[in-house]
Structure 1
Amino acid sequence: MSSIGELRTLARSRRSGPGARPEQKDNRVAYVFLIPWLLGVVLITIGPVLASLYLSFTNYNLLQPPHFTGFANYVQMFGDSEFWTSLKVTLLYVVFSVPLQLILALGLALLLDRGLRGLSFYRSVLYLPSLLGASVAVAILWRQVFGSDGLVNRFLDLFGIHGPGWISNPSTALSTIVLLHIWTFGSPMVIFLAGLRQIPRMYYEAAEVDGASTLRRFRSVTLPLLSPIIFFNLVLQIIYAFQSFTQAFIVSGGTGGPSDSTLFTTLYIYKQGFGRFHMGYASAMAWVLLVIVALFTAVNFWSSRFWVFYDD
């Protein structure tokens, strides 16, 4: 065939010929297998998202039909001091927990990348906190560890130090939840380790020949080549941190106390929606939180052009 028109004619003849039937049948089989996934997307994801968007413009108490109120819920948020407190607590949690978690994860990944024996075992053990960190059981255990008579204070008693009630003290309650988030370093650590294994050894050998120190090699070779992985982990962990709920709910007993020091925005949304039956207002706050997460993500993508380096 010497022309595009002849190729198109041949393609049409093949689709309309006898050979097209098995292919069409295969397509129908594929669509049948896709039906459960499509139903899940529509009924479990898209449907509830659109429903919550509508409810954010209504007054809905779960017991009576929703009543359309326009932007009343969003206007109410501007004067809701408890909402602004929850937003402040959430931002503090994200700002402190995410960088510290990534620093710890990167440090352990660098340690494991040195060729330790039993690497698979250590990697599996260190990954466990990521699997358990968001569970109710670990949150209950964390509450006991940092209680007035918990393991932390008993350890301090050995040195004659009387520790405070970490959970009941407004100045330290949020710090305990930050520590719990930092402890779930396993997932970003494994991703960092995979990224370190992809850095060619020749770059380190060239830096050694030039007399670069260990710190210099880390700063000039490891960080630039690992920057796409750092960016990936940063975006994911910020999103996960904004969504944190179980830890604050269990540690504070569902109140966000003491003195709203652990009142995450997700916890406040839960209290409004299922505690006070203000589902319309809770939906509006959920959408505001979504916009905030989207803004943080957009800023990360915008700033990545200045510090993320790709091979191409």
Structure 2
Amino acid sequence: MHSIEQLQSLVNKAINDTKYTEEPAELYEPISYLMQLGGKRMRPVLVLVSTELFGGQVEKALDAAIGIEIFHNFTLMHDDIMDKAPIRRGKATVHVKWNESAAILSGDVMFVEAYKLMIKVEDSILRDVLAIFSDTASGVCQGQQADMNFESRNDVSLAEYLEMIRQKTAVLLAGSMQIGALIGGAAKDQAELLYEFGENLGLAFQLQDDILDVYGDPEKFGKQVGGDILSNKKTFMLIKAKELATGNIADELNQWIETNDNPTAKVEAITNIYNQLKVRKLAESVMEDYVQTALYALDKIEVKSDKKNLLRGFAEQLLIREQ
């Protein structure tokens, strides 16, 4: 099997070799710009790892892997518009560098390009792969809508939040792995176990993202630290803090939620409240539970242990993100 680094190199080479020469340039230049911003390429790598896990050849899965990465970046492009995010991977977001209309249309083209790559899988699994990809795409959109709905609600529960991030984040990791498994020749029940692994890993990853938004180093995290706090985004951190806060702490938290007059002070004050309530430790505990559930599903997959060890290592690497 290839190493994670080798698979990342294959993915990056395929992305770098893809040239968008169609006109108008304003439609395609944002796609190249966003795709070249990098990242760990975890989703396409998971497609390739999953293919090799069952003895398949990565070359047969590369188109689908790049399709997954293009789809993922399409969601990021549109999410950044909705979130009014100024930074993506340490660089200006597409709607800031160009404009919102360009970002919307370029994202639409990316969705089409993703499907064009996905239909290159073998005919024997085409229907299953497209069903998984379509369900995944719908789930991501449903999760994003739920996330937007939460903006106008003050009663979001942890259960609702976890379901939202399952759809918005986890199903894409899970679907990537299930598609890769089918390309590799896995039986459907084995591919479903890999889906379970990816889903729980995705939940853990998003909780880690919530933590890093508060405690991460912006140079290493690649996004605006404290952005969730400034936008009053319903994250595990905020929902749990509101659940635990009483008395003066609850009053202070609510006061800061209602103001944006001093962004620096708001981030510092709410972070201090999280520290008082030990919210970070609670989030890390739940995150670790999802990791363990993911690894339990991985253990049940009927392939040689050394192949699973590579995927286990990727899971551990995925969650060790620099702060």
| TM-score for both structures, normalised by structure 2 | 0.31
- Taking CA–CA contacts closer than 8 Å with sequence separation of 6 or more, which of the two structures ends up with the larger relative contact order? 1
Structure exhibiting the larger radius of gyration computed from Cα positions:
1
| TM-score for both structures, normalised by structure 1 | 0.32
Report the structure, 1 or 2, having the larger helix content: 2
